[in-house]
């Protein structure tokens, strides 16, 4: 599952739980799903961080955006 999909699903789970309109059984199922989505997002972010660090050869540099330059 892509990061964006997992994050969207996690947001939906949180909204449903916060609504208070689900049974205890459904809340437990949603909570378990939320934990899975959180793990998925965390793993994706760690992988992305490792790729950025590898690409910068271990030397992370501050990002400075120049006027008129929209490239990242």
How many Cα atoms occupy the beta-carbon half-sphere of 2 within 13 Å? 3
pLDDT digit string, tens, across residues 29-58: 999 999 999 999 999 999 998 888 888 776
> CA geometry: angle at 61 spanning 43 and 71, to 5°?
85
Please name which of 35, 32, 30, 2 lies closest in space to residue 15, comparing C-alpha atoms.
30
- Domain spans of the chain? 3-54
pTM: 0.69
pLDDT of residue 10: 95
């Amino acid at each position: 599952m892509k990061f964006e999909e997992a994050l969207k699903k996690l947001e939906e789970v949180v909204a449903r739980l916060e609504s208070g309109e689900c049974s205890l059984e459904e809340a437990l199922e949603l909570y378990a799903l939320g934990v899975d989505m959180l793990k998925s997002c965390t793993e994706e972010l760690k992988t992305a961080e490792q790729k950025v660090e590898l690409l910068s050869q271990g030397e992370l540099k501050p990002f400075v955006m120049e006027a008129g330059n929209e490239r990242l």
